[in-house]
Homo-oligomer: A and B are copies of this chain.
Amino acid sequence: MFFASDNWAGAHSAINERLMNETTRFAAAYGNSDLDRTIEARFNDIFEKEVAVFFVATGTAANSLALANFAKPGGVIFAHADAHVIEDECGAPDFFSGMRIAPVEGTAGKIDPARLKARISRFPQDAVHHGRANSISITQATEVGTIYSLDEIRAISAIAKENGLPLHMDGARFANALVKLGTTPAEMTWKSGVDALSFGGTKNGCWCAEAVIFFDPEKAKEMPFLRKRAAQLFSKSRFISAQFDAYLKDDLWLDLARHANSMADLLREGLASSNSVRLAWQTESNEVFAVLPIERMHAAHAKGAKFYDWSEPANMAQPVQEGEMLVRLVTSFATERKDVEDFLEIVQAG
């Protein structure tokens, strides 16, 4: 019953196998192998356009370097107050970009366009003292399990264009959002105005496969240097490529995300229909937030279930009561139906 995070899962067997095959041969290092070229081209297919692809070690690196690529002195990045780039990266985006991040509020983990507009207006392009608006970062799926609709993405990107700001998407859970929306990678990104994407494979079945993707390769000319100076250029880069090779083949990545989402559906249904337990808020991806009686939480922990409690946000429709706990439950490609069922049984009992 592992619901702590999707990065507690291992790696998918097809990805393992492909990795193994790759290990038996020699090939050029530092991203110059035939396989690296092949996979870069694969991303062109997936996004229906020529893109620039840069593999890096972690999601934090992908976010940080994507933002650093657009950096200017005195620049200000706008992101949701709960965004990973603000809350979970130890200041790496600030460090690599030399800029600051201004938090923007919004319900359900999504940037509120009106507030974004207001916030940006405080940082005009000639604001030498205050600083100037530089870029916007959104997270898809969000940190709290919700998903921006295409219209919502376009509302943000319209503001970005009006202000001449590039739009970055943190896609650590890109696949989970994509299959839920039932749209294409192109639609969810550049066709909706996204300029740069952190494309995450690690949480969805790879063991380590993260990429930064720029939809206008002309605007990513500094990236090879930014990446190398950031110590993020793998010598055996093709082992990242090999993972992506299997990940992207025959839509495996979409299948894995669908599985994770469906396991979360199962959790959502079970929790929603329970008397003792409730959903903290509605989610759509592979993250579920629930309010449990503390005693049920202990029971679940006692039986080996792994999950984290979560800080209660302001404005919860039905606040956490004395004797209750807000917890986060994350499913993954590796989550088994039986684990979900066992967990539901435990928390619903009592």
Contact = CB atoms under 8 A, between A and B. Distances in A.
A151 interface: no
B129 A228 contact: yes
Given A87-B130, A224-B128, A26 B334 contact: yes
A75 B90 CA distance: 8
Q: Which of A56, A73, A132, A306 has the most CB of B within 10 A?
A: A73
Given A7-B236, A89-B229, A207-B236, 6 more contacts: A19-B19, A57-B234, A87-B130, A89-B231, A122-B311, A128-B233
Interface string A13-39: 100100110111111111000000000
Contact of A231 (B56, B128, B130): B56
Contact of A208 (B88, B226, B236): B236
B92 A228 contact: yes
Interface in A225-249: 225-226, 228-236, 239
Given A128-B224, A236-B7, A100 B92 contact: no
A233 B76 CA distance: 19
Contact of A58 (B76, B96, B231): B231
13 contacts: A8-B28, A11-B236, A16-B19, A16-B20, A57-B57, A60-B231, A90-B228, A91-B99, A91-B229, A95-B98, A207-B236, A208-B208, A208-B234
Contact of A26 (B9, B61, B122, B208): B9
A74 interface: yes
A222 interface: yes
B100 A91 contact: yes
Interface string A333-347: 010000000000000
A150 interface: no
Contacts of A64: 231
Nearest to A87: B130
Contacts of A24: 10
A202 to B, nearest CB: 6
Contact of A207 (B88, B232, B239): B239
A72 B225 contact: yes
B22 A10 contact: yes
A159 interface: no
A131 B16 CA distance: 34
A320 interface: no
Contacts of A59: 235
A5 interface: yes
A287 interface: no
A89 B90 CA distance: 22
Q: Which of A27, A72, A99 has the most CB of B within 10 A?
A: A27
Contacts of A155: none
B225 A74 contact: yes
A53 B96 CA distance: 24
A4 interface: yes
Interface in A102-149: 122, 128-132
A280 to B, nearest CB: 19
A2 interface: yes
A16 B236 CA distance: 14
Q: Which of A7, A75, A203, A306 has the most CB of B within 10 A?
A: A7
